[in-house]
Chains A and B, each alone.
Chain A
Amino acid sequence: MLDVERLSIHFEDRGRREEAVKNVSFQLADGKILGIVGESGSGKTMTALTIAGLKKQRAVIDGGSVCLDGVDLLTLDDAQMRSVQGARIGMIFQEPMSALNPTMKIGKQLEEVLVLHAKLSKEERRNKVFAAMEDVELENPRELYEKYPHELSGGMRQRAMLAAAIVCRPKLLIADEPTTALDVQTQDGILGLLKKLNQKYGMSILFISHNLRVVEKLCGRVLVMKSGEVVEEGSVEAIFGNPQTEYTRELIAAIPDACGKNWKDGATVEQDEAVAEEIAVWQGEAVADENAMEKDVLEPKKVLEVCHLNAYYREGRVRRQILQDVSFTLHEGEIVGLVGGSGSGKTTLCKCVLGLLKEYDGVVIHHTKRPQMVFQDPYGSLNPRKTIGWILEEPLKVQGGFSKEERRRKAEEMLERVHLPKEFYKRYPKELSGGQRQRVSIATALMTGTKFILADEPLSALDVTVQAQMIELLKELQEKEKICYLFVSHDLDVVHLLCDRVLKVEGKTVTSMYG
């Protein structure tokens, strides 16, 4: 039904030519679901947008064809293409909030498709809209009709988007990362819905995602893309069971698959390795002060103690308790996960630990220098007007007592420790990639000489392969420099992969979850 033949697209940007999609061909048969996976910049979204006739003006099609039921969409003029969009191709996007018009009622937005593509009376249109809402399992359609997007939850918004996309019963539904912005439970709901619509109406689905696990659940066939090219194509079983290319294997390996397995085993193995390494060090050094060493290993130094912490949030005169009687201790060289739903008090706990919140009682003791933080958004955490060198030297300037040369030497050494080239000293943050910026953030934290870093979702903005590299760096620093991390994350897979133990914030208190 959908037949993409040797599609090539490039960007023209300030005279520079950038190939976005190179010679991509694939077919999607009636009633089937095809997944396209790849990291950002792989051209998967570009391909999808081009099929839907939504490519940006800067993108130029070099060749190829996109045939829907034998008609090449690329040869249609604007008006002809518009009669296809919405009627025969429906589309849903990643961010349901921004994809909906914020100042237009949900009902009006659903109805618009019918206004454009069907000659129906107002009453008929309304009934069709209500039917579509029921199809996507939205309750109280009549009430929802009058609501605005911000009054809905994330899952409901995506369902509303989906309802608008299917209200004209298109033969092809293009879903561009539709579950990425949603939490796991809502994700499953949307996936189930897509499957149901696929079966009920025989609607073909082109499913774009970077999340292989989701693709595995939903799709019959998978297309793997990298830098604009198709790397591999095959059935789900073939791709996951027997990947042919190195890149696909990398992608699959990067899926934190701890969920399925018993991760306790994994942890034991790691611990064994760590112990083995320690022993190797002992033997090599033939230490004199064996006792001290032993004590060090048996009783790791504490870096943070939190005792009977109560934290409050003040809103006007009302003081709301967020945390109640929280106690825990963190040690050197330990990675501790901190999990909890949104609004559970995770952020409040972090602020207390960092000393950014005044509204608390109880005791927070730091056994190290100032705690440092690595932020979620790599683009906001470095001062955009300063060079990397300046940023790295700032902790030394604050401490005082270093000459200019010393500061520079130390900054350059630090760059090497986080595996960045020395030349970055003179660069500005905007010249660095997300992963590189996160490395600079870690380096800045280490410049203060701290042993404790609070990392707030430091990986969630990064691509999976970059994530894997960052995890490596975090572990390396943990082992070599005995850095303790409090690792805040909602991604349980990463937490299980990385952390020695986990603290869970729930119902105002913190519970410890070991393996």
Chain B
Amino acid sequence: MKYKGHSHNFTLGLGITVFMVALILLGFLWTPYEPDAMQGSLKLNAPSILHLFGTDQFGRDIFSRVLVGAGSTLVIAAGTILIGGLAGVALGAVCGYFGGWLDEGVMRVCDALAAFPSVLLALVIISIAGSGKYKVMVALGIAFIPSFARIVRGEFMRLREADFVIGARLIGVPTPRILFVHILPNILPSLLSSLAIGFNNAALAEAGLSYLGIGVQPPDASLGRMLSESQTYLASGVWCAAFPGVFLVLLVLGVGLLGEGILDRFGGGR
């Protein structure tokens, strides 16, 4: 019943995502103020023309800090889905298409890993390997492999018995070509949308870990840490919490809508 071809979710999601990502990329090159520069005279100033999002308890410009912090989030989330996505697609495709003992074994381990909520798995890895931007990225990436592998495996299992795949086998198409040229394009919409969901989960997980103080470490700015610090000044400086939070929500909302939109527009599975 889905109307394919046009989707409000897609348009709106793409719009928000492009805007937010452009803003964050801008933050890599230029910020209005030095994100770590403290100004004693400007402690907890409300938002103004000079400081769009106000200043924090040390007089730092929140807008600049939000841009840089969101930059960490973006890098970590993107890295996570790159690691998790690549490994997950490879594992899932092979397991789903061939089945057998390999599938049995890999999925057993995936089941065991899935018994941990992915944040918890990341926590374990971090508590072993230590915290920091790239360690968090790798930890989350590994933690996300099982979920991607499961999705991809399910799709490949569904399609390996599809008539057009059997037809391709009868023609004599080599197996790698069947996997990646015949089948993969058919699961692209659902893969992309699960990558979008994965991106969001990673972004939220990173923010959570940083909030707990075991994610991104100073001097790297992070939205989670800003939120955690803001709690002390919630009564006198609501903006310290509001802007980092809303910024994160907008990024996640945009990507989430985009993921939905991809499914609406290009159709997923059945």
Contacts and interface: CB of A to CB of B under 8 A. Distances in A.
Check A-B contact in the complex, CB < 8 A. yes
Interface of A: 14, 354, 356, 370-373, 375, 377, 380-386, 394-395, 398, 441, 444, 448
Which one of A354, A384, A385 has the highest number of Cβ atoms from chain B below 10 Å of its Cβ?
Answer: A385
B228 interface: no
A339 to B, nearest CB: 21
Interface stretch (B29-37, B65-73, B163-171): B163-171
Contacts of B166: 356, 373, 375
B169 A356 contact: yes
A384 B171 contact: no
A375 B167 contact: yes
Given A370-B172, A394-B171, A385 B186 contact: yes
Interface in B160-187: 162-164, 166-174, 182, 185-186
Contacts of B172: 370, 395, 398, 448
Given A394-B171, A441-B167, 18 more contacts: A356-B166, A356-B169, A370-B170, A370-B171, A370-B172, A372-B170, A372-B171, A380-B162, A380-B163, A381-B167, A383-B168, A383-B186, A384-B164, A394-B173, A395-B171, A398-B174, A448-B171, A448-B172
A316 to B, nearest CB: 13
Nearest to A375: B163
A473 to B, nearest CB: 19
Interface of B: 3, 162-164, 166-174, 182, 185-186, 188
A381 B163 contact: yes
Contacts, number: 49
A377 B170 contact: no
Contacts of A377: 163
Contacts of B186: 383-385
Nearest to B174: A398
Residue from B167, B168, B169 whose CB has the most chain A CB atoms within 10 Å: B167
22 contacts: A14-B3, A356-B166, A356-B169, A370-B172, A371-B170, A372-B170, A373-B170, A375-B167, A377-B163, A380-B164, A381-B163, A383-B186, A384-B186, A385-B186, A386-B185, A395-B171, A398-B173, A398-B174, A444-B167, A444-B171, A448-B171, A448-B172
CB-based closest 5 A-B pairs: A381-B163, A375-B163, A385-B185, A380-B163, A383-B164
Contacts of B171: 370, 372, 394-395, 398, 444, 448
A75 B40 CA distance: 78
Chain A at the B interface: mostly helix, strand, loop or mixed? Answer: loop
B157 to A, nearest CB: 15
A382 B164 contact: yes
Nearest to B183: A383
Contacts of A383: 164, 168, 182, 186
Contacts of A384: 164, 186
A385 B269 CA distance: 11
Nearest to B185: A385
B191 to A, nearest CB: 13
A366 to B, nearest CB: 12
A188 B70 CA distance: 70
A386 B170 CA distance: 18
Contacts of A370: 170-172
A441 B164 CA distance: 9
B185 A354 contact: no
A236 B164 CA distance: 43
A383 B185 CA distance: 10
Contacts of B162: 380
A383 B110 CA distance: 30
A448 B171 CA distance: 7
With a 10 A CB-CB cut-off, give which of B166, B169, B170, B182 has the most chain A CB atoms.
Answer: B170
Between A354, A370, A380, A386, the greatest number of chain B beta carbons within 10 A of the residue's beta carbon is seen for A380
A414 B167 CA distance: 18
A383 B159 CA distance: 10
A345 B170 CA distance: 20
Nearest to B164: A383
A398 B169 CA distance: 11
Contacts of B167: 372-373, 375, 381, 441, 444
Contacts of A371: 170
Contact of B168 (A385, A394, A441): A394
A383 B167 CA distance: 10
A354 B185 CA distance: 26
Nearest to A379: B163
A381 B174 CA distance: 18
Contacts of A375: 163, 166-167
B209 to A, nearest CB: 38
Among A356, A382, A383, A444, max chain B CB count under 10 A is at A383
Nearest to B173: A398
A372 B182 CA distance: 18
A354 B164 contact: no
Nearest to A390: B181
Nearest to A377: B163
Contacts of B188: 385
A116 B172 CA distance: 59
A507 B86 CA distance: 49
A375 B185 CA distance: 22
Interface centre among B164, B166, B168 (most CB of A within 10 A): B164
A336 to B, nearest CB: 19
A386 B171 CA distance: 16
B173 A354 contact: no
Nearest to A448: B171
Contact of A381 (B3, B164, B185): B164
Contacts of A381: 163-164, 167
B163 A354 contact: no
B214 to A, nearest CB: 43
B71 to A, nearest CB: 36
A371 B167 CA distance: 10
B94 to A, nearest CB: 19
Contacts of A394: 168, 171, 173
Nearest to A382: B164
A263 to B, nearest CB: 31
Most chain A CB within 10 A, of B3, B171, B172, B174, is at B171
Contacts of B169: 356
B170 to A, nearest CB: 6
Contacts of B174: 398
